[in-house]
Amino acid sequence: MKSRDATKSGRRAVAGVPEVPTYAEAWRHFRWQSAYGLVAWLETLGLGDFQDVDSTSETVRRFAQAAEDHGLMSDESLWSSV
């Protein structure tokens, strides 16, 4: 098993891929995705007639709910690195 792990690590290094994140790091990055979606769709909503307003409003609502569900808005540790 050790040589298999070394081979995987070597392949990642050659490909320029960073080390595999810890579970906590991966979860933190996953949680941040809802913030990106929220900002992107708020911008779309602000453009007016770029997309249907009702559909865009619903998408914004869903991203905001996802951010809330994942504790993104209330977790100060997430915002300390911004």
Q: Rounded distance, CA 37 to CA 67, Å?
A: 9
CB within 8 Å of 79: residues ≥ 6 apart = none
- pLDDT score for 1: 47
pLDDT digits (tens, 9 = 90+) for 7-53: 666 666 667 767 778 898 888 888 888 888 899 999 988 887 778 88
Q: Is the overall model pTM greater than 0.85, yes or no? A: no
pLDDT digits (tens, 9 = 90+) for 54-69: 999 999 999 999 988 9
CB within 8 Å of 57: residues ≥ 6 apart = 45
